[in-house]
Structure 1
Amino acid sequence: KILDLSNNSLSSLAPGAFQKLRYLQVLNLTRNMIHYIENKTFSFLPHLKELDLSSNSIIRLPETFGNSTGNITLLSVKHNKLQKMERVLLESLPNLKVVLFKDNPWQCNCNVFGLKLWLESFLYRGGISDGIICSAPGIRKGKDLLTVPYELFGACPLRTAHFHLHHHSSEHRSSLKHPHHSEHGENSRSNCEPKPKPRPVSLRHAIATVVITGVVCGIVCLMMLAAAVYGCAYAAITAKYHREHLAPVREHGTPEEKEPFDSSLA
């Protein structure tokens, strides 16, 4: 159930090295000289729960450890030479509870954006981790990957950035079926390339709001203009009426005003 291979100067592991150890639960490979782990190295270990790969010289991890490694609860890759880690590998370990990343030269660029998203989700679900400290680029050296703003990954290729919106299971399955093709694609797109920013969906609502507001304001202005024209016309008609009908009366006087004058002469 427990196999301790630490301090043995191992430089590589054959894919079928552990094929007969079906009841193995704890595998310790610390303090060796392992440079990389091949795909499915730990296949046929359905009961494996703890895998310690720390203190080696590992520069690359595969997209999967094996067909039956879903029961791993602890994974340690600290004190290695890892610059990135595939999110697909971590997602193939659904029962993972503890993962240790300490002391690796992590490159905090587009290649670790998926790892950042996975780690946030992992910690939210109650997982335990010692965090990822950036070694490069220089402006992010010494910073925790979780504190790097999402905006700094805005220029990453859509293949990496799409994890922020949706997880496409079809692409996931395709990468598992064609690991060599996926690995070649990663190398060809290792650098971040500027991409045009997509038009926000909310912009359409903003434009509609502006149009509706403009129409309403136009109607109100027309009503105010009509009221002003009506008021001016009414004032003009009233003034004309006063000039035509009241002015003569004021000049000659009314019958009531003249009658007392005539009676006094009589």
Structure 2
Amino acid sequence: MKNKITLFSSFILPIYVAHGCPEKCTCHTVSKTADCKNRGLREIPAHLPPGIQILQLQNNHIWRINENAFTGTPLLKILDLSNNSLSSLAPGTFQKLRYLQVLNLTRNLIHYIENKTFSFLPHLKELDLSSNSIIRLPETFGNSTGNITLLSVKHNKLQKMERVLLESLPNLKVVLFKDNPWQCNCNVFGLKLWLESFLYRGGISDGIICSTPGIRKGKDLLKVPYELFGACPLTAAHVHLTSIHHHNFEHRSSLKHAHHNEHAENSWSNCDPKPKPRPVSLRHAIATVVITGVVCGIVCLMMLAAAVYGCAYAAITAKYHREHLASARQHGTPEEKEPFNSSLA
């Protein structure tokens, strides 16, 4: 009897699991997962169980996402669309997924991301856009995306990135930039300043390696001297942030940069020369000049007094000798008054 129950249970379980699940997917009620990977799909499958939290769609041929594709799955937390054929994403494509935490869009054919593509995803923490053909990113990913902690844009075709976008992600802890043709001119200077601040605050990054211009090819953007950006337009935000963070950067970045795996903010599109040394206080300078003048005056007076004293002493000594000589000539000694020839007598 027990063997019959076991056999019956093993027979009805797949039917229960498959209930309400698309034909080419496998749905698991316990893990709340819909496994639709490697099924040759060209679109998001319809009639997915409304209670699923994980949807695996990787390794298919999905080339577009319909506007209402996720209307029936509002509780999704993890969505994996990696290794598909998506070339564009309409703004608001994912806006029904208010509980989404992880969105994987790696290895697609995406060329650019529009403003507000990821609007109204207040719980989104990880956004992976790596291994696409992205040439441009917007100034914002959308409303309510401020909780993103990990952003990956590596292996794309980005030449620059607006610091405004990064500033809209205040909780960012990890950002990955590598393998992009970064253009290290004035357009990327704001990114340099932001990255210095990000690393100083404990963020983790794999760094930005310059592709152009030729003299900077292969160099780490963070090691390109500020003086080389001296001809760039100046902005007030750059001046403010450079003065705050530049003097602390070298030590901190050596600890946090690249792959140190130490677990880890505000404004910084253009350029700013290296901050000039702080000017000397005018009051301090005047005081120094006055003190120097007084000391020099005292020394001069002492030298003058010594000269006067020496002259007076010399004059008195000379007068004394003249008077003594004159007296001696006038009165003479006995020997001087005796006739010359008396000594022969």
The aligned length equals 266
Q: Distance in 2 between the 1:18 and 1:37 partners? A: 13
**For the structure 1 residues 197 and 217, does the alpha-carbon distance in structure 2 shift closer, same or farther, using more than 3 Å as the test?**
same
- Counterpart CA distance in 2 for 1:8 and 1:147 is 37
How far did 1:100 drift?
Answer: 0.3
Mean alpha-carbon deviation: is it higher for 253-262 or for 213-222? 253-262
Aligned to 1:209: 288
Deviation digits for residues 108-142 of structure 1, max 9, x if unmatched?
Answer: 22222222222222222222111110111211110
The 8 Å contact of residues 91 and 115 in structure 2, kept in 1 or not, is answered as yes
Report how far residue 260 of structure 1 moved. Answer: 20
Q: 1:171 and 1:179 mapped to 2: Cα distance? A: 14
Aligned partner of residue 228 in structure 2, secondary structure: helix
Give the Cα separation in 2 of the matches to 1:216 and 1:136.
59
Question: Please, which runs of 5 or more residues in structure 1 have no aligned partner?
Answer: none
Q: Cα distance 1:2–1:196, how it changes in 2: closer, same or farther (>3 A)?
A: closer
Q: Indicate conservation of the 8 Å contact 2:204/2:263, yes or no.
A: no
Q: Distance in 2 between matches of 1:179 and 1:74?
A: 15
Distance change (3 Å), C-alpha of 1:54 and 1:238: same
Deviation at 1:182, TM superposition (A): 35
Alignment partners' CA distance in 1, 2:194 and 2:318:
82
Residue 64 of structure 1: CA displacement?
Answer: 2.0
**Gaps in structure 2 of 5+ consecutive residues:** 1-76
Bigger shift: residues 80-89 or 157-166: 157-166
Post-superposition Cα deviations, 1:210-239, rounded to whole Å, max 9, x if no partner, equal 675466435534542443244324433442
Further displaced range: 164-173 or 200-209: 164-173
- Further displaced range: 215-224 or 23-32: 215-224
Between the aligned partners of 2:95 and 2:255, the Cα distance in structure 1 is 21
Cα drift, residue 173 of structure 1? 28
> Displacement, 1:192?
7.0
CA contact (8 A) 2:108 2:131 kept: yes
Other structure's SS at 1:51 match:
strand
Q: Separation in 1 of the partners of 2:220 and 2:249?
A: 31
What is the CA deviation profile of residues 135-192 of structure 1, one whole-angstrom value per residue up to 9, with x for unaligned ones?
1121111011121122222332211783465999999999999999999999999887
Distance 1:194 1:91, change over 3 A: closer
1:73–1:98 CA contact under 8 A, matched in 2: yes
Secondary structure of the structure 1 residue equivalent to 2:211: strand
Q: In the alignment, is the contact (CA less than 8 A) between 1:78 and 1:102 conserved in 2?
A: yes
3-state DSSP class of the match of 1:223? helix
Which structure shows the bigger proportion of residues in helix conformation?
A: 1
- What residue number does 1:113 align with? 189
**Cα distance in 2, alignment partners of residues 47 and 264 from structure 1:** 139
Q: Structure 1 pair 246/168, CA: closer, same or farther in 2 (3 Å)? A: closer
Please point out which of 315, 325, 332 is paired with 1:236: 315
Cα distance between partner residues in 2 of 1:176 and 1:130: 12
1:212 & 1:95 partners in 2: Cα distance? Answer: 55
Contact 1:28 1:52 in 2 (8 A): yes
User: What's the C-alpha RMSD, in Å, of the aligned pairs?
Assistant: 8.9
CA contact (8 A) 1:155 1:195 kept: no
Change (3 A) 1:94 1:184: closer
Kindly state the Cα deviation for residue 38 of structure 1 after the two structures are TM-superposed.
2.2
Task: Check whether the contact 2:235–2:272 (CA below 8 A) recurs between aligned residues.
Answer: no
Secondary structure of 1:187 counterpart: coil
Percentage identity across aligned positions?
93
CA contact (8 A) 1:157 1:194 kept: no
Cα distance in structure 2, aligned partners of 1:47 and 1:172 = 34
In the alignment, is the contact (CA less than 8 A) between 2:205 and 2:259 conserved in 1? Answer: no
Deviation at residue 80 of structure 1 after TM alignment? 1.1
Rounded to whole Å, the distance in 2 between the matches of 1:175 and 1:130 is: 12
Larger Rg: 2
